[in-house]
DNA sequence: GTAATTTTGTACATTATTTGTCAAGACATA
DNA sequence: TATGTCTTGACAAATAATGTACAAAATTAC
């Protein structure tokens, strides 16, 4: 739960209450509590809002959040998963360079 | 759709009909058609059955299938996604070596 | 060509998963 | 004890995924 952990860390560091956070996101505070513990997933828009509110780079939070999405998608043996991740990564890396070439 | 493509390739190579495949999996042939085109996702058990039926390694098909799960989990910008995938991969690679140490 | 077979597309009903809400409980502090 | 913060569990609501039926295309065989 990279995202959840980071979120709590940032909130505590800034001495903020969950209630304030949930107000910013306009969600129930119980739900926020769950998000912060990784029991529920934040929406992409939430991640963006949080980044602004906490003065961190959107990119940073979105990356952690995306990592969690990937972890969540693991549904095989860790060997197979690792292997597959490597392949998936290579695919994307390539996509990256292709786009840069244009 | 690495898995779907591979599946079709194998079926055609072995001169099999979708109907036969769907019979093996005990599913509707329309559904099988969708799976083969990546419009629906196969279940893990299906992948395993297919590997046996088509005489290919379980691991091979499961890997492709898992790659698709990852692709499916991409929900950010490709730059962020690539970055996140790298991080996720590193996490898993590490998990791998940890287990080997035991 | 056309009949038979195979595959695809679409619209839905069904099922499963995820999400969000609420109220009660735990814990700390004053 | 009273107050504020956070967690938890049960459950309804919303959303997403799955599977089915059947018509339309496409392909193959005759």
- Which residue matches tokens 């893990």? B44
Query: Between residues B102 and A53, which one has the greater pLDDT?
Result: A53
| Strand D-contacting residues in A 1-40, CB cut-off 7 angstroms | 17-19, 29-30, 33-34, 36-37
Give the CA count within 13 Å in the CB-facing half-sphere of A43: 8
Question: Measuring CA to CA, which residue among B69, B73, B75 is closest to residue A62?
Answer: B75
Q: Taking CA atoms, what residue in B is nearest to A89? A: B85
User: Contact at 8 Å (CB) between A89 and B86?
Assistant: yes
Task: Say if CB A62 and CB B82 are below 8 A apart.
Answer: no
Q: What is the pLDDT of residues A60-71, one digit of tens each?
A: 999 999 999 999
SS3 content of chain A, % helix, strand, coil (to 5): 75, 0, 25
pLDDT tens per residue, range B43-90: 999 999 999 999 999 999 999 999 999 999 999 999 999 999 999 999
Residue nearest D17 (alpha carbon to C1'):
B40
Confidence of residue B98 (pLDDT cuts 50, 70, 90): confident
The band of B40, judged by pLDDT with boundaries at 50, 70 and 90, is very high
Separation between Cα atoms, residue A13 and residue A2, nearest integer Å? 16
Nearest to A45 by CA among B71, B70, B75: B75
Stated pTM of the model: 0.94
Q: Is the pLDDT of residue B97 over 90?
A: no
Which residues of chain B does A86 touch, with a Cβ-Cβ cutoff of 8 Å?
A: 89
CA of B22 to C1' of D28 (A): 21
Mean pLDDT of A65-90: 96
pLDDT at residue A101 above 90?
no
Distance, CA of A99 to CA of A90 (rounded, Å)? 14
Mean pLDDT value of segment B86-100: 83
Q: What is the pLDDT, as a whole number, of residue A67?
A: 98
- Residue A102 — pLDDT band, cuts 50, 70, 90? very low
- Under the banding of pLDDT at 50, 70 and 90, the label for residue B102 is very low
């Amino acid at each position: 739960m990279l995202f959840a952990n980071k979120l709590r860390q940032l909130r505590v560091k800034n001495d903020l209450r969950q209630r304030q956070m949930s107000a910013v996101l306009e969600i129930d505070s119980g739900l926020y509590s769950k998000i912060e513990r990784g029991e529920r997933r934040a929406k992409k828009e939430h991640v963006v809002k949080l980044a602004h509110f906490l003065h961190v780079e959107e990119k940073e939070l979105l990356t952690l959040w995306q990592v969690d999405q990937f972890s969540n998608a693991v549904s095989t043996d860790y060997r197979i998963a690792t292997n597959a991740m490597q392949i998936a990564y290579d695919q994307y890396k390539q996509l990256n360079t292709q786009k840069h070439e244009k």
